[in-house]
Amino acid sequence: MVCVFCNTKDKSIIAENDLAIAFFDKYPVNEGHVLIIPKRHVSDFFLATTEELQDINNLLCTVKEILDKKFKPTGYNIGVNVGKDAGQTIFHLHFHLIPRYPGDVNDPRGGIRNLKENLIPYPQGENQ
C-alpha cells in the first residue's frame, strides 16, 4: 500500500524540524486545520519514538503560534486516531491541530467527549 503522506509532493509545509513536518489538512474541519506527522513512516502513535513525539509536540506549539496570528482562533482540539476502529484512515501517524471559533458548533462543552454517547452521562454544570 502506498502511503499518501510519504509519497506526496504536494504538501505545503508550514513548519518543520528534524523529525516532523506540519501542513494544512486537505479536508479541514475548520479554517486553519493542520496535520503534523513524523518524517519517518510510522503507522501510529504507539510506534513513534520519544524523539519523534517530542519533535511533533514542539511543532504543535510552533504551529499554534502561526495559527493564532493568521486565524485568531479562541480554542483548539488536538487529536490522534489510532487504529481503524478509532477512525484512522491513513496509517501514518498524524496529529490534527484544529482551531476552534465561537459558534462553530452549538455546544462545544465536552470537546472530544462528544464523539459518541458517554457510557456514564457527563455531569451538567461541573468542570471535569
Catalytic, out of 33, 41, 94, 96: 94
Closest CA to 76 of 49, 54, 95, 58: 95
Can you give the pTM of this predicted structure? Answer: 0.89
- Domain ranges for the chain: 11-115
3-class secondary structure, 87: coil
Instruction: Indicate if 92 belongs to the active site.
Output: no
Topology of domain 11-115, per CATH?
Answer: HIT family, subunit A (3.30.428)
Q: What is the pLDDT along the chain (128 residues), one digit of tens a residue?
A: 689 898 766 678 999 999 999 999 999 999 999 999 999 999 999 999 999 999 999 999 999 999 999 999 999 999 999 999 999 999 999 999 999 999 988 888 878 777 666 667 767 755 44
